[in-house]
Structure 1
Amino acid sequence: MNKINELSYEIKIRNTLYFEAAIGLSGNNFLLLFQVLKFILGQRTRLTDLPISLLALIHILMLVVMSLVASDIFMPGKRWSDSTCKTVIFLYRFFRSLSLCATSLLSILQAITLSPRNSCLGKFKHISPYHMLGCLFVLSIFYTSLSSPLIAYVTATPNLTSPGFTYITQYCCLLPMHYSFWHTFYILFTLRDVIFVGLMAISSTYMVTFLYRHKKQSQFLHSTNHSPTSSPEHRATQTILCLMSFFVVMYTLDSVISYFLYPSKDPIFYFIVIFLCHNYATVSPFLVLSTEKQIIHIFKCHGRTVDI
């Protein structure tokens, strides 16, 4: 009876994660479609449109891989091979790194968008989208290169359990490694993440300061009815600030829980970590879409185009 209850419990956990993934996939697919239609219909694009589209695509792939990991943790089926474990875990880490890099890049680009033309950041206002893709590619390579050696320690779980193995999923684990080696990895991971989160914090502080000064100037020169806070640029900035804040909160909770509870064989631990890790990927498209007032107009225009 206990095994039946435990199986039912794990099914509920898995289905909850699948539900989170389904919501996130729906939101990110809709956001990506919206950005593609804006480009097709020739709508005015912003410097941040390409990073937002990339972020939506990254989150789609990230949530798909998360579903694979969740299925092997809570409802294992066919045993995974070494190559499958290495591939899935690498993609899991890779898309998480891309999400952080793209979010950091998005924050910096929005700060560039707000900056005056005669400022240091204003010189980058006419940056090419191809340069942004190249920058994201370089950042992702730098980010993943630090954790790539760790993939060599990922292997399929052996038939005989050993206390030296650290289990990642039901059929994937980490080979034993020296404490100093693992400690070095942990320090590198922390420094790497601090760099990107620090860039987000700096750019977000700049945007908050700029909005505050701009609001003060507008209140002095005009009435509050003519405040520019409703402009597309300011709405986009407020949305990105919400994204940054939400990302930092989720990242901090994930780091704290992982540090104090890892390693653990309790299913609820894996559920909390996976749920928190992918909350940002699930919620972010809805935050972006909530401030896009062109959605109905663009889809109406697309519908007319299809009819013609």
Structure 2
Amino acid sequence: MSSLENILYFQAGLGLLANMFLLLFCIFIVLGHRPKPMDLIFAQLTFVHIMMFLTGGNIWLSDIFESLNIKSDIKCKAIFYTSRVMRGLSICITCLLSVFQAVTISPSTSLLAKFKQKRKKYIINALFYIWLFNLSVSSDMLFYVDSFTNVSDTKQMKVTKSCSLLPMNSIIRGLIYTLSTSRDVFLVAVMLTTSVYMLNILHRHQRQCKHLHSISHLRASPEQKATQTILLLVVFFVVMYWVDFIISSTSFLLWMYDPVVLIVQKFVIYAYPTITPLVKISSDKRIINVLKSLQSKSH
């Protein structure tokens, strides 16, 4: 158990450092240069992932709350509410990332082409409504999370050392489960649809280039590379989401959590936030050039 927790902390530490580096770079780009609309989305997603690590591990924020002498029930509500909001934001912003890239590479004859001119405005509006929606829909955590009391007849479901879910009416539990599942299934469906659409565009573009130039190996354009990166992230997210969905749904419906299962679930939850900044850093030429210049200056 302790070895699993140590690996989990290492994963969380790596993901946190990578996301902090990427967020600093995004802020530098947004403030100092002309940012691409994609930079705004990645900045939001990176911030969300940092908050996921801080709240999902129930480590750092717990220490902060304890040092401030805040009551355990308030601490649990704050941590679980923030964690739920950030997980909702992660899937919503990833979906927005996929839709935005589909709009970016869509041909001028497509229905999506009319959104190209006002992409930045649409992104800012979309991000605002995404935040508002998730802050509202996750509010059930404020009512059904409390500090754990070691009393057998309370029917609490212990989910961390100090926090638990309070018993709820089966109808309310079913309603919460249905609403959250419907939202997630819809967003995953949108991501898969836009992914298929982007793959189709990339395939057609590659065939046209081969036909025109009779070259078997063509260098991918920056747009194609960005699309391939986003497709990789979306597919990875969808796979990790369904693994997490199966684990959390089983635990929620059976009203039981095993400590080992909880650690495995956190591995799955942390996988996407850890991989995303590493993929972005390794695929963004601007970041690579900055790192190369820093390395040359040090030598």
Q: TM-score, normalised by structure 1?
A: 0.85
Is 2:37 the partner of 1:47?
yes
User: Deviations along 1:207-237, whole A, 9 cap, x unmatched?
Assistant: 011111111111111132673x511100000
Matched, 1:230 2:220: yes
1:296 deviates by 3.7
The aligned counterpart of 2:139 is: 148
Which residue is 1:6 aligned to? none
Of 82, 99, 105, which residue of structure 1 is paired with 2:96? 105
Note the alpha carbon deviations across 1:252-276, whole angstroms, 9 max, x for none.
1111122334544432111011111
Q: What is the CA-CA distance between 1:206 and the residue it aligns to?
A: 0.9
Distance 1:157 1:119 in 2: 55
Partner-residue secondary structure (3-state), 1:126: coil
Among residues 277, 290, 293, which one is paired with 1:298 in the alignment? 290
Is structure 2 residue 108 aligned with structure 1 residue 114?
Answer: no
CA distance in 2: counterparts of 1:155 and 1:36, whole angstroms = 36
1:50-88 deviation digits (Å, cap 9, x = unpaired): 11121111111111112326997xxx9999621111111
Counting only pairs closer than 5 Å after superposition, residues 274-285 of structure 1 correspond to structure 2 as 274-285=266-277
Please tell me whether residue 68 in structure 1 is matched to residue 55 in structure 2.
Answer: no
* 1:181 aligned residue: 172
Change (3 A) 1:79 1:13: farther
Question: Retained in 1: the 8 A contact 2:54–2:60?
Answer: no
Q: How does 1:1-308 map to 2 (within 5 A)?
A: 9=1, 11-39=2-30, 42=33, 45-68=35-58, 81-127=72-118, 129-162=120-153, 164-224=155-215, 227=218, 230-262=220-252, 263-299=255-291
Whether contact under 8 Å (1:58, 1:98) holds in the other structure is yes
3-state SS of paired residue (2:153): coil
Query: Structure 1 residues 296 and 239 mapped into 2: Cα distance closer, same or farther (>3 Å)?
Result: closer
Tell me, in whole angstroms, the C-alpha distance in 2 between the residues paired with 1:95 and 1:217. 42
Q: Which moved more, 1:270-279 or 1:172-181?
A: 172-181
Unaligned residue ranges in structure 1 (runs of 5+): 1-8
Contact 1:147 1:185 in 2 (8 A): no
- Structure 1 counterpart SS, 2:140: helix
Q: C-alpha deviations, 1:67-118, integer Å up to 9, x for none?
A: 326997xxx9999621111111000101111111110110011001101234
The answer (yes or no) to whether the contact 2:102–2:194 under 8 Å persists in 1 is yes
Cα distance in structure 2, aligned partners of 1:100 and 1:273 = 16
| Distance in 2 separating the partners of 1:71 and 1:269 | 22
Once superposed, which parts of structure 1, at least 4 consecutive aligned residues long, lie more than 4 Å away? 69-72, 76-80, 299-305
Where structure 2 has 5 or more consecutive residues not aligned to the other structure, the ranges are none
**Structure 2 Cα separation of the partners of residues 193 and 217 of structure 1:** 36
What is the percent sequence identity of the aligned residues?
A: 36
Query: How far 1:124 moved relative to its partner?
Result: 1.4
Q: Which moved more, 1:253-262 or 1:171-180?
A: 253-262
TM-score by length of 2: 0.87
Q: What amino acid sits opposite 2:240 in the alignment?
A: M
Q: Distance in 2 between matches of 1:232 and 1:294?
A: 11
In the comparison of the two structures, how many residue pairs are matched?
291
The separation in 1 between residues aligned to 2:238 and 2:285, in whole angstroms, is 27
SS in 2 for 1:173: strand
CA contact (8 A) 1:147 1:189 kept: no
- Secondary structure of the 1:148 match is coil
> Aligned-residue CA RMSD in angstroms?
2.8
